[in-house]
Structure 1
């Protein structure tokens, strides 16, 4: 797995901008779209957002989303959970850290 950039160095405001630019075509905080909603993702078991039709790989996953797992997911979703359907990754570690900081903020953590 890729190294985690600590959230103390991350910028949630920049993460919000990145989310709007890179994620909002498929995701939203409060509604399922092409991808599941993200509000409350921290501490949530993978494949458990209410009302979303997950791939079998995610529906049967055992991961609980935390900083380390979100970093690995955003770095290479298919490597973390083979058979998932997200065709997008975030190769830049600082961008991942900022996105994760934003997701943490929107999860009330």
Structure 2
């Protein structure tokens, strides 16, 4: 995919990805505007950043990529799945939204790191 094609594609991916969790939560009746807004911004950022640097995200060839992928997955999934646990005084909807937010922030931070690394290369 050419860079100009990717640039036109970036905002659309971010908007779709950002809106998806919000639509799902509205459909199930969850109405906390702070959480919904945070989810929308976080997932829109993830979509935009991943679309901008898709060549980095899809590359599975080198051992460095595998190492960084593991180091990304373990704390992000661990925090989302085990940090937000049933012992907290949350409804099921609140716990699910918080898990998605933790996962989203982790992947958004990774996307920002990729952008920073690419900018430092130039």
The structure in which a higher percent of residues are helix is 2
Q: TM-score if structure 1 supplies the norm length?
A: 0.27
Whose radius of gyration is greater, 1 or 2?
Answer: 2
| Larger RCO: 1 or 2 (CA < 8 Å, sep 6+) | 1
